[in-house]
Amino acid sequence: MIFVNDKDLVVPGEILAEDDFHPGRGTFKEENKICSSVVGLIALRNKKISVIPLQSKYIPKRGDVVIGEITDIRFSMWGLDINSPYSGLLPASEVFGKEKRELDKVFKIGDVLFLRVVDVDEVRKVKLGLKGRGLGKFKGGILIYITPTKVPRLIGKKGSMINMIKDKTNCEIVVGQNGVVWVNGDIEMERVAEKVIKMIQKQAHTSGLTDRVREMLAQLTGEELEVSKDTEAVEGEENDNDNASSEDEKDVKQENDTNSSEKDNKNIPREIFESKLNLNHKR
Amino acid sequence: MIIIITLGTNVGTKAREDGRAFDELRNLKIDAGVLERADGSAYLEFGGNKILVAIYGPKESYIRRLQRPDRAVIRCRYNMAPFSVDDRKRPGPDRRSIEISKITAEALHSSVILEKYPRSMIEVFIEVLEAEGGTRCAGITAASVAMADAGIPMRDMVVACAAGKVNGEIVLDLSEVEDKDGEADVPVAILPRTGQITLLQSDGNLSADEFEKALDLAIKGCQQISEVQKEALKNRYGV
């Protein structure tokens, strides 16, 4: 017996189903009842019930690519903040091999790196590595923090969402699976990208998001950047595909406009704070 | 968003000081996600109480000796603002606030799935901006909404409510005056789905029968408040 529908919003402790269902992520089983453990949206797959959380912390997993900031230099390793309850370790051997060099000449405290999670052991020690394509240190740019569960939404189907932001703002954007986003480009455009990413995070659980992101991008970049009609036509074709995919993904009631504008206002202190952070990174 | 709860009508001939029925709660309003920088937050108005709760975590435990290898730890701080009561409250922790911090952490403890985040720490900050009796219960209620808002996995949302004895009558949800003049106060916190009790205190003199009655009444109140909690979380995401 099931008490909820697909894509319903549930709160912790709500009874979702009884008997012949399997508990997935975000749920737990008590006697014969399946209950939700987080605030999130129901995802039904056959007889398996999961709850996709709307808010979460990043739990490191082997093989993930993450963005981390160096917070500590020790005898043979760097300590990194990876936006998670567990801090990351980058052993010197990962960078130098067997050669011995001074660590603080390579990476300093405050440097931002793009890394891969090599291993997570039983005591939640997170070993990071720099071997792989595109991994390494970032120069310049800003960091934006979002909820890790919203990373797939930000990237979109086959990168549709993130590529749209990249095209419109002319910024380099890298998304770590730990919910840290690095944006590098023109200062004005970095701000635009930040606003858009924050908006995606706020409205990730609503439908028709791709269209709203496109509108917002057009609005924000409109004054500074004249988009030629040719490129717009091409993007118009893409729209249809995106529409289909976004409706596939989520089909939840939309927030009304007043609500979202209120939320944007609340964002201001955070933006100021982050712009301060960026000054440090640019050094 | 204001949700007014009325439980029954004024059946008794002797009404209460503020005109409520014996089994009637004060006006309750909860907003989730009011703070931008906290991982989770809630603002609660319960009668004359105004309480703000912020949750940080799970994060790396910065106090090594508190770290547990198999689960997360909950640290809680209950604090009353100096302007929260009629006479100025001397700032800083006192005997009472240390006690409430402890019982709040313990009341929340059994609801949170702590095993999911070993070696980490969850911090709960309860700030009482205005107090009018029953702040410990209101604090627990708001803290568990903030916990859910922070995305921390929980078995159930803890909800707390008090009952007591005033002028020989067993009443629900004591106000400040009733608490001071009354004979007894029984704060109760439960897990509403299973009915398990996570906090039970009793201050004052009650016979065994009266205590049973007060406990039943408090649990009934908890069930009502629980609905408002769920409503608050759903409203946060505009559904």
Q: Please name each of the domains of chain B with its CATH number.
A: 28-236 (3.30.230.70)
pLDDT at A27 over 70: yes
Lowest-confidence region among A51-60, A96-105, A145-154? A96-105
Give the pLDDT confidence score for residue B73 in this predicted structure: 96
Tell me the pLDDT band of B9, cut-offs 50, 70 and 90: low
3-state helix, strand, coil in chain B (%, to 5): 30, 30, 40
pLDDT at A204: 85
Structural domains of chain A, count: 3
Check whether residue A161 and residue A242 sit in a common domain.
yes
Chain A residues touching B194 at Cβ < 8 A = 30
- Mark out the alpha helices in chain A (DSSP H runs): 92-96, 151-155, 160-169, 187-202, 209-222, 229-249, 257-266, 268-282
Question: What is the per-residue pLDDT for B16?
Answer: 87
**What is the structure's pLDDT at B237?**
84
Q: State mean pLDDT over B208-217.
A: 95
Selecting from A12, A86, A266 the residue whose C-beta is nearest the C-beta of B157 gives: A12
Considering the domain architecture, whether residues A206 and A257 belong to the same structural domain is answered as yes
Structural domain contains residue A83: yes
> Looking at CA atoms only, how far is residue B117 from chain A in angstroms?
8
- On whether both A254 and A179 belong to a single domain, the answer is yes
pLDDT score recorded for residue A103: 85
Q: Secondary structure of A10-23 in the HEC alphabet?
A: ECCCCEEEECCCEE
Q: Are residues A126 and A36 in the same domain?
A: no
Question: pLDDT at residue A227 above 70?
Answer: no
- Do A32 and A156 lie in one domain? The reply is no
For residues A108 and A91, state if they share a domain: yes
**Average pLDDT over chain A, rounded to an integer:** 79
A269 to chain B: which residues are within 8 Å by CB? 36-37
Would you state the pLDDT for residue A207? 82
For residue A60, being part of any structural domain is answered with no
Smallest CA–CA distance from B193 into chain A, residue = A13
The ipTM estimated for the assembled molecules is: 0.85
Q: Are residues A112 and A42 in the same domain?
A: no
Mean predicted confidence (pLDDT) in A235-249: 37
Residue A36 lies in a domain: yes
Question: Measured between CA atoms, how close is B191 to chain A, in angstroms?
Answer: 9
Q: Is A142 left (phi over 0), alpha (psi -120 to 50) or beta?
A: beta
pLDDT of residue A220: 85
Of the three residues A137, A155, A179, the one that is the final residue of a domain is A137
Which residue of chain B has the CA closest to A85? Answer: B59
B19 vs A: CB within 8 A: no
Judge: B237–A39 Cβ closer than 8 Å, yes or no. Answer: yes
Cβ <8 Å between A54 and B154: no
Any B CB within 8 A of A12 CB: yes
Is residue A268 scored above 80 in pLDDT?
no
pLDDT tens per residue across span B32-62? 999 999 999 999 999 999 999 999 989 999 9
- How high is the pLDDT of residue A95? 85
**Quick one: pLDDT at residue B1?**
62
pTM of the model: 0.82
Say yes or no: A158 and A271 in one domain.
yes
Q: Is B150 on the interface with A (CB under 8 A)?
A: yes
Chain A contacts in chain B segment 100-119 (CB below 8 A): 113, 117-119
Residue A4, domain member (yes or no): no
How many whole angstroms separate alpha carbon B200 and alpha carbon B194?
16
Do A15 and B230 lie within an 8 Å CB cutoff? no
Contact B237 A9 (CB under 8 A): yes
Report how far residue A156's alpha carbon sits from residue A146's, in angstroms, rounded to the nearest whole number: 15
Q: Which residue has the higher pLDDT, B28 or A93?
A: B28
> Is it the case that residue A101 has pLDDT exceeding 90?
no
Q: Which two tokens stand for residue A63?
A: 């093989």
Handedness of CA B192, B196, B202, B206 (dihedral sign): positive
Cβ-proximal residues to B25 (8 Å cutoff; 6+ apart), any chain:
B5, B7, B161, B172, B173, B221, B224, B225
* Residue A278: predicted pLDDT: 42
Q: Indicate if A169 and A126 belong to the same structural domain.
A: no
User: What are B148-205's pLDDT values in tens digits?
Assistant: 999 999 999 999 999 999 999 999 999 999 999 999 999 999 999 999 999 999 999 9
Average pLDDT, whole number, for chain B? 92
Residues B65-91, mean pLDDT to the nearest whole number: 95
Q: Output the pLDDT for position A229.
A: 44
Placement of tokens 């989730």 in the chain: B32
Highest mean pLDDT among A205-209, A212-216, A248-252, B103-107: B103-107
pLDDT at A270 over 70: no
| Contact between chains at B230 and A56 (C-beta distance less than 8 A) | no
Q: Same domain, yes or no, for A156 and A273?
A: yes
Say what percent of chain B tops pLDDT 70. Answer: 94
What CATH number does residue A102 fall under? 2.40.50.140
pLDDT at A230: 43
Residue A13 at interface with chain B, using a CB cutoff of 8 Å:
yes
Tell whether B1 lies on the interface with A, counting CB pairs under 8 A: no
B6 band by pLDDT with thresholds 50, 70 and 90: low
Lowest mean pLDDT, pick from A265-279, B49-63, B100-114: A265-279
Q: What range does the domain containing A233 cover?
A: 142-282
Name the residue of chain B whose CA is nearest to A265's CA. B36
How distant, in Å, are the alpha carbons of A54, A195, B31, B120, B196 from that of B114? Answer: 19, 34, 25, 9, 18
**Cα nearest neighbour of A260 on chain B:** B238
Q: Do A153 and A236 fall within a single domain?
A: yes
Please name the residue that has the structure tokens 């099931």: A2
What residue in A sits closest to B226 (Cα-Cα)? A13
Q: Give CA separation, B78 vs B95, B119, B137, B145, B203, in Å.
A: 11, 23, 12, 16, 20
Partner-chain contact B157 A123, CB within 8 Å: no
Q: What mean pLDDT comes out for the span B26-32?
A: 96
Q: Which of residues 158-197 of A touch B (CB under 8 A)?
A: none
A48 and A72 in a single domain? The answer is no
CATH value at residue A35: 2.40.50.100
Helix (H) or strand (E) holding A119: strand A112-120
